[in-house]
Amino acid sequence: MRFRDALAGPGLAAIAEIKRRSPSAGDLRPDADPAELARAFERAGAAAISVLVDERFAGSRADLRAARATTGLPLLAKGFFRDQTELAELRLDGADAVLLLLRDLDDDDASRLLIAARELGLDALVEAHDAKELERAINLGADPVGINARDLGTFEIDRGAQLDLVAQATLQHSGTSSERVVVAESGIESRAQAAAAELAGADAVLVGSTLMRAPDPAAKLRELTARPLVKICGLTREEDVAAAFEAGADLAGFILARESPRRADAVLPVPETMLSVAVFVGERADAGSDLVQLYERENGHRGRDATLFRGEEQVARVLDLPWEQSDSQHQARAAQQDGRVVLAGKLAPDNVRHAIVTVRPWAVDASSRLEVEPGVKDPERIRAFVEAVRA
């Protein structure tokens, strides 16, 4: 399978990167064995593998050949390429794709290399860091496009700017006969951050330093891409946010609707490795959250289901029970829904595994059954719930 096509399937794909060191972070995994890591990443579910072949990253073309010997996944050769001869050599070494950095290439050079890559049967991941470079990539007809959160001049990470550019790259190609594949590169340290890229429109994330620092890189890759996500909702206290974070939850929900006994005064701060969700009924407002969950208001209370928004974009459906009622067909109904499903409604450690097997949701959402009283969570129940989801 071609590199681009491997990233274009349903859900969020992952490109696992092999690199021994980083100019910004120094040594990461000096003894990294590309053959062993490539084999492990394939088993862990990677869609493709990126191999640093530049000496500044303690890499070489031999690393590419070693990875090729142990995996059938598409291989991306990463370096600072400016010459067609380099691309031909990388193809012979087993590369299926090459990285082209618009930071280092003018449009004429980039176009020349894109043509050369195509003639060699290579895909090209054209990398942009800012709006100007993204515009250049689009004008060049690049597909796939990579959006790097790291400024290669200062090495600073700006995830917010990256997500905005990912969304822009997606919107500028929406509705055409062949959707552009967009890759979010750098700055992915948690499952929630990977999900944030997915909700912005990324087809894939490229993860390197986080994997190379992990005691078990393949296990870390599985962790970053695991579904369902876990949302703990009805949080009203900082200590409960901390308990959710420590247990490994991905999303923190804050109910701002007036009728809820779990109403929070505001969206509380969350660690950068989590996402915050403001929950409204009837009308939404700017609460400074990463996401907004909006229910219709019916008979003075929330309606049954909600829409999850990133900005103005609808990104998932929240399927819930009716207000303070039961429905024996709730999970069967949810299992029939297309797209991203956040499953809610009286979930707890004792029933969430059955719900996951039945529905296969994108995320699960728990609140009332993790409490000692409305708005006050039990840390042990939160921990048990997350452990049950991850089991």
Residue 19: active-site member: yes
CA-to-CA distance for 104 and 86, rounded, in angstroms?
Answer: 15
Q: Give 125's strand partners.
A: 99
Closest CA to 385 of 241, 230, 223: 230
Please pick, among 42, 86, 127, 371, the residue that the annotation labels catalytic. Answer: 127
The separation between the first and the last C-alpha atoms of the chain, rounded to the nearest angstrom, is 32
Three-state DSSP state, 3: helix
Q: Which is the catalytic residue, given 22, 60, 148, 367?
A: 148
Residue 201 is encoded by which pair of tokens? 């429109």
β-bridge pairing 376-377 and 371-373: antiparallel
- Per the residue annotation, which of 42, 60, 78, 86 is the catalytic one? 78
The token duo for 278 is 């403001």
Annotated catalytic residue 127 = yes
Q: Is 17 a catalytic residue?
A: yes
C-alpha to C-alpha distance for 145 and 137, rounded to whole angstroms: 7
* C-alpha dihedral (56, 19, 187, 387), degrees to nearest 10: -160
CB burial of residue 328 (10 Å; 0-12, 13-18, 19+): exposed
Residue 210 CA neighbour count, 13 Å, CB half: 23
**Catalytic residue, candidates 50, 186, 209, 289:** 186
User: Is the sign of the CA dihedral 343, 232, 278, 10 positive or negative?
Assistant: negative
Residue from 19, 220, 231, 377 carrying the catalytic annotation: 19
Burial letters for 281-294: b for 16+ Cβ neighbours within 10 Å, e otherwise?
Answer: bbebeebebbbbbb
259 is a catalytic site residue: no
* Cα-Cα-Cα-Cα dihedral sign, residues 38, 41, 45, 47: negative
Q: Is 78 tagged catalytic?
A: yes
Please identify which of the residues 42, 86, 133, 185 carries the catalytic annotation. 185
CA distance 167 to 284: 21
Give catalytic residue positions: 17, 19, 78, 127, 148, 185-186
